[in-house]
Structure 1
């Protein structure tokens, strides 16, 4: 009797492009500028991306271009959350201080503010044109492509 092995790695197909964006804008403002300059229609999703049981949440904008079979996502990379600080119990005065903690969606790129994920089935998106249009936006400091295969936490980009 012959044995047949099915390798799951054979079905993994990297059909998305990832662009990192450095800018100090709010997420809604960046989505507006991207809509204007790239002719997109990004809209905020009703629910944010949540990880580790609400430890961190990231805003996400999405547009599904059905004419070109392309899905655009704009996702924030940083989540700032205020938490109680640790204090010892044997102190004379009891203080409740708050500490601002920062979590990152992709921890290898902790300086990146936003990611654009372009999921396309036909491979008809030219990332050089997109990058050149992004450089024309004065509020964006820099933008560049990221190889998704080199990211350790690429599972966070599945949404």
Structure 2
């Protein structure tokens, strides 16, 4: 009897482009600037991306361009959360607030936002998008990332 092995990774073959953005703006301000420069219609989704049972959450903006079969996502890579830390000094215990930082894609800790462009037809020119992004003065830098090289590419499935 022949043994057939089914690989789960074979089913998810989503083609998308990923652009990393270094920018200190708030997410809604960056979405507004992207809508102006790239002629998009990004809107905040009702629910954020929650990771590890509400340990961290990341804002996400989306626009589905049905005429060109392209879905645009702007997702935050950084979540800062204040947590209580309890430690003891001798006989006394002290409760202190500590700011913890979580990343959606831990391989790129310095990246503030990602633009994910999911397309059925390969018609989006990423070089043109990068040039338009560089023309926004509030963006420090932007570059393309190869999603197949990411260890945490499953975090970008939404």
What pairs with 1:95-134 in structure 2 (closer than 5 Å)?
95-134=94-133
1:142 alignment partner in structure 2: 141
2:31 alignment partner in structure 1: 31
SS of 1:102's partner is strand
Q: In the TM superposition, what is the alpha-carbon distance from 1:13 to its structure 2 partner?
A: 2.4
**Aligned-pair Cα RMSD in Å:** 1.7
Contact persistence 2:76–2:112 (CA under 8 A) = yes
Distance between the aligned counterparts of 1:18 and 1:58, measured in 2?
A: 17
Distance between the aligned counterparts of 2:36 and 2:9, measured in 1?
A: 39
Contact persistence 2:14–2:118 (CA under 8 A) = no
Change (3 A) 1:7 1:107: closer
Distance between the aligned counterparts of 2:152 and 2:63, measured in 1?
A: 23
Contact persistence 2:86–2:94 (CA under 8 A) = no
1:53 alignment partner in structure 2: 53
Equivalent pairs counted in the alignment come to 158
TM-score by length of 2: 0.93
Unaligned runs of 5+ in 1: none
Distance between the aligned counterparts of 1:81 and 1:44, measured in 2?
A: 20
Contact persistence 2:88–2:94 (CA under 8 A) = no
Q: In the TM superposition, what is the alpha-carbon distance from 1:97 to its structure 2 partner?
A: 1.0
> In proportion to residue count, which structure has more strand?
2
Unaligned runs of 5+ in 2: none
SS of 2:88's partner is coil
Distance between the aligned counterparts of 2:90 and 2:17, measured in 1?
A: 53
Q: In the TM superposition, what is the alpha-carbon distance from 1:89 to its structure 2 partner?
A: 7.4
TM-score by length of 1: 0.93
Distance between the aligned counterparts of 1:5 and 1:24, measured in 2?
A: 47
